[in-house]
Amino acid sequence: MPKSDKPITRRDMLKSGAALAAGLSLSGSFLSSCQNQANRNSRNGRIKQLLVSWTYMNFAEHWSLDELCQAAVELGIDGIELVGPDEWPTMQEYGLVCGMSVNGMPDPPYEKGLNNPRYRDEVIAQTKTRIEECAAAGVPNVIAFTGYRYRDNDNPDEGIISLEEGADNTVEGLKELALHAEEHNVTVCLEHLNSRVEGDDFRGHPPYQGDDIDYCADIVRRVGSSHVKLLFDIYHVQIMNGDIIARIKEYGTDLIGHIHTAGVPNRRELDDKQELFYPPIMEALLEIGYEGYVGHEFIATRDPMEGLREAVELCDV
């Protein structure tokens, strides 16, 4: 949704719905839900789609949360993700869900992860608190990370955590979180990130330990909980491993708990200027019985609403 000189407010949306209200007092949530449902009814709707907040709120267009919510309503999709409890009430006013919560760690949250005993207690404590907040608000998922491979992120020369040690530590941390997640019926999703793209923190993370999707999948298998799964980020997987559809079918819903999209290379729109064709990927998700969310996490290089509409249509198989 392009910025205007005077952004639409929730009050404006309520006023515009006055005729529909027919003299009744309707809430903003009800009106937004009606508009969202009308838009959904015009599509197949078998893939539940979300907007990932940071690509528009903290990058690209610098949309406010209200503007992001307005875009989601206009697109007729389910909600927004990677936001925390402070944002959830505003989203609810628009009839939107939070499909995936941040884990409560300071930005960037992927640097300090479960692989490192130096940071693990803090990560576990913050994530447990967020799990409880998610359960209270009906948010189904919270994100998790292996973390960087350095023993001390502030002093990389202190050494590197081996892959074996990092996996063991992450499994141990996720098992502890799994008990809390199971109790509160929230799923913890471990994200795999690429380490190939250098010099751009928005597109690659060279020190990240969980840069092999099979490595992350093995960690999730070892945890052995239905409430610990993979955040399968198609952009990162394509860069590091490829075989997107084959891996989706191999991992299935036992391992895959959440999906992110973006064009490759450069994390751009899902258009004909990049190497992936998304409809067969979405069909593969349906084939394995995937019922979770698909979050669009690409960085706009042109009109953002145009790119988002194309993405929503491409993934609506």
User: pTM for this one?
Assistant: 0.87
Cβ distance 72 to 51 under 8 Å? Answer: yes
Per-residue confidence (pLDDT) for residue 44, from 0 to 100 = 87
Identify the CATH homologous superfamily for domain 44-315: Divalent-metal-dependent TIM barrel enzymes (3.20.20.150)
Q: Which two tokens stand for residue 17?
A: 């719905």
d(CA 302, CA 269): 9
Buried/exposed 291-304: b ≥16 CB within 10 Å, e otherwise = ebbbbbbbbbeeeb
For the chain, domain boundaries: 44-315
d(CA 125, CA 147): 15
Per-residue confidence (pLDDT) for residue 170, from 0 to 100 = 98
d(CA 67, CA 262): 21
Question: Which residues of the chain carry a pLDDT beneath 50?
Answer: 1-27
Buried/exposed 238-247: b ≥16 CB within 10 Å, e otherwise = bbbbeebeeb
d(CA 123, CA 285): 31
